[in-house]
A = this chain, B = another copy of it.
Amino acid sequence: MSAVPAGRKRGARAEVPITKDAIVETAFRIIEERGLEAFSMRSLATELGVFPATLYWHVGDRSCLLGLVEHRWIEEVVLPDECTDWRDWMLQLGRRYRAHALAHPNVARLATIERARNVDSLVIPDAIVGKLIEIGLDRDLVHAYNAIMGAVRGFVLLELSPRSEPDAESDVESDLRNLDEERFPNITAQFDRLGDHALSMRWSNGVDRPLNDSFDFLMSLLIDGLAARLPVTRP
């Protein structure tokens, strides 16, 4: 929108006051609308109509800023109602996390890949740990938590990581359609079901072709597995 800072006087205030929140908000928008590779400290500064150095005064360096963007994203996920069955609670939380990731895929990818820098983003982990203890998991608490967290966040990340750049979709599609039947007998035999629907075999991206049923299948594997490992409680 706005161009490079037009001849403002040295040290003069920006016409629109620059705040930390405005910077994070704009960074979020750039990443979501134009992709992470379109985001830079300089492009952000240009968008805000200030010099790059201004950003450093407000939010620190690039890494800090991305941490703030991640945090703004993850804190919008709302926990399910406490008083439902734990299986339902777990499924709902997984679905809400994933829905929020599909709504903001670029920031979601960023938040999963980069280490989260904000301690605040531990509200979901804390809730999961609490729920696992509540249902009686004790000895395998850490493993159950890691399994759920790793599987769910990992699945969503891979779902959102397309095989191809947007401009090369058709290339990938034809590569996959013409796989060698000798080398990949199983994939080629099942290609009508797998093509564009299975991880590593898609040409569309995760937002255009969401893997809803596969995600629910994974959630049911995890939840059933946990249920089977619960201590037997006589009602």
Contact = CB atoms under 8 A, between A and B. Distances in A.
Interface of A: 112-117, 119, 121-123, 125-127, 129-130, 133, 140-147, 149-159, 161-165, 175-176, 179, 183-187, 190, 193-194, 197-201, 211, 213-214, 217-218, 220-222, 224-226, 228
Given A154-B151, A158-B154, A164-B115, A141 B225 contact: no
Given A163-B116, A199-B145, A157 B157 contact: yes
Nearest to A157: B154
A122 B179 contact: yes
How many copies of this protein are present in the complex?
A: 2
B149 A200 contact: yes
A193 B163 contact: no
A94 B37 CA distance: 32
Contacts of A163: 115-117
Please name the 3 residue pairs, one residue from A and one from B, whose CB atoms are nearest each other, closest first.
A154-B154, A150-B155, A221-B225
A122 B184 contact: yes
Contacts of A133: 186, 190
Given A154-B158, A161-B113, A186 B129 contact: yes
Contact of A214 (B115, B143, B199): B143
